[in-house]
Amino acid sequence: MSLMKVHGGTPLHGEITVRGAKNFVSKAMVAALLGEGTSELRNVPDIRDVNIVGNLLKLHGVVVEWDVEDGIVRLDPGNVETAHKADIDTHAGTSRIPILLCGPLLHRLGEAFIPDLGGCHIGDRPIDYHLEILRQFGAQVDKLDSGILITAPRGLHGTKIELPYPSVGATEQLLLTSVRAYGLTELRNAAIEPEIMDLIAVLQRMGAIISVDTDRVIRIEGVPRLGGFTHTALPDRIEAASWAAAALATRGDVFVRGARQPDMMTFLNTFRKVGGEFDIRDEGIRFHHPGTGLKSIVLETDVHPGFMTDWQQPLVVALTQASGLSIVHETVYENRFGFTQALRRMGATIQVYRECLGGGPCRFGQRNFHHSAVISGPAPLRAADIEVPDLRGGFSHLIAALAADGVSQVRGIELIDRGYEDFRGKLDALGAKVESG
Ligand code: EPU
């Protein structure tokens, strides 16, 4: 486990750049599998998830070239082949990407395999919607000891599906499966996150026919073949918000080059309500502390266009410095407040509750999930020894360590490389006093 020593108490000041969104880039790389030609994805960040997806695609015969410096990935799926199950398991690591390879692999090879899946430990993260979608297209799903084998002996056929919840992954699953299925597909209660709209743009460039209605309905007319694409990934709005929250929590001033207003409207509203200030420019957004006290808020996470669950954790750190009681209701994941334990050890006053506080009832109410938090501030934070629990929780701990008095030791820092490009370099550029062990 790698360690970072963080000398807290110095406001972050300066400029950093965010490149393409982790939660889009991996899906666009998978989409390339559906095409007959070579694809080129630009603005690709140097993060571990890109490596994992690249390796999984290579295992399936795709030629992957990654120019890390220029952020360009070229994918040639000319010779797609079946991979060994054990190799998929080894290369997937904790990634959930193998589930999204299913549709494209079924079209190309007639079968796909999903090993036991990982991802961040922020809830159960089931894949029932994914499997149900594949079944509805006519695939056969068989549980093996080592994972799940999916076959499509009679091909994949368009269908009508309504999701029980607008899941991002399930919507992507449906898109990647339907574009080359026979006939029409209709998806109701679809997720409409900007990353999904960018995936639809990629698929359209490849030759797909997809229309998006205003009421979470997506319709796809299957086509027999698709070509390659050239596309520039939309910027990572989660990373941008994470640095914005870091600026606020440390009383700093950070210009996030690449951040885009349209994808961050809801975050910007909340940032302003807390008292944070921002300045939107063509090339990015400057986020800074107001110099006076921060204000407490009531906040509920939700699917797009609501406040993203991935923005919640970094913002909670800033809320520990706001005057009064803030209430945060997490409605996307049932278990995304585990990271607050470490914040409590650092001096934050945060209590978590099973009840739905600060908003309407959600899927997790009346169940045994601590999915609401009450944060009382301002509470001075002090240094602590912390172990990174997951990607976003880990970055939030880093923010807390940067805002705290004294020297914190943060272990397991490599988890953060999954989704934050060169965060050590960026911390240096912002004047943070950190030492990597
Ligand atoms: N869900 C089910 N069954 C399913 C799929 C989802 O019950 O088959 C539930 C989940 O348990 C969760 C909710 O639906 O409670 C929403 O999950 P969703 O499918 O939308 O999430 P995801 O596709 O697995 C992506 C991002 C997450 C991000 C969420 C929500 C990627 C690789 N991951 O996950 O990002 O939090 O959408 O926006 O795109 C992160 O970047 O750190 C991260 C966790």
Q: What angle do CA 258, 259, 263 make, to 5 degrees?
A: 130
**Is 358 in contact with 328 (CB distance < 8 Å)?**
yes
Return the best residue to mutate from 29, 50, 332 for the ligand 1 pocket (most ligand atoms within 8 A of CB): 332
Say if strands 294-295 and 298-300 run parallel, antiparallel, or are unpaired: unpaired
Spans of all domains in the chain: 3-18+235-436, 22-232
Mean pLDDT over residues 362-376, rounded?
94
List, for residues 102-118, the tens digit of each pLDDT value.
Answer: 999 999 999 999 887 65
Q: 């400057």: which residue's tokens?
A: 286
H/E stretch holding 66: strand 63-67
Query: What's the first-to-final CA gap in the chain, in angstroms?
Result: 10
Q: Do domains 3-18+235-436 and 22-232 have the same CATH topology?
A: yes
Report the separation in Å between the CA atom of 356 and the middle of ligand 1, taken as the mean of its atom positions. Answer: 20
State how far the Cα of 343 lies from the Cα of 316, in Å rounded to an integer. 10
Give the pLDDT confidence score for residue 280 in this predicted structure: 98
Q: Is 120 a catalytic residue?
A: yes
List, for residues 257-300, the tens digit of each pLDDT value.
Answer: 999 999 999 999 999 999 999 999 999 999 999 999 999 999 99
Q: Specify the CATH number for 3-18+235-436; select among 1.10.3720.10, 3.40.50.80, 3.65.10.10, 2.60.40.10.
A: 3.65.10.10
Ligand 1 site, CB within 6 A: 22-23, 96, 120, 123-130, 165, 167-170, 191, 238, 308-310, 332-333, 391-392, 419
Instruction: Report which protein residue has its CA nearest ligand 1's atom 2.
Output: 126
Q: Assess whether the previous peptide bond of 126 is cis (omega < 30° from 0).
A: no
**Is 253 in contact with 288 (CB distance < 8 Å)?**
yes
Give the pLDDT confidence score for residue 30 in this predicted structure: 98
List, for residues 379-416, the tens digit of each pLDDT value.
Answer: 999 999 999 999 999 999 999 999 999 999 999 999 99
Give the pLDDT confidence score for residue 85 in this predicted structure: 86
According to CATH, the topology of domain 22-232 is: UDP-n-acetylglucosamine1-carboxyvinyl-transferase; Chain (3.65.10)
**Is 120 in contact with 392 (CB distance < 8 Å)?**
yes
- What does the DSSP 8-state code read for residue 157? B
Q: 């952020």: which residue's tokens?
A: 71
State how far the Cα of 100 lies from the Cα of 169, in Å rounded to an integer. 8
pTM score of the predicted model:
0.96
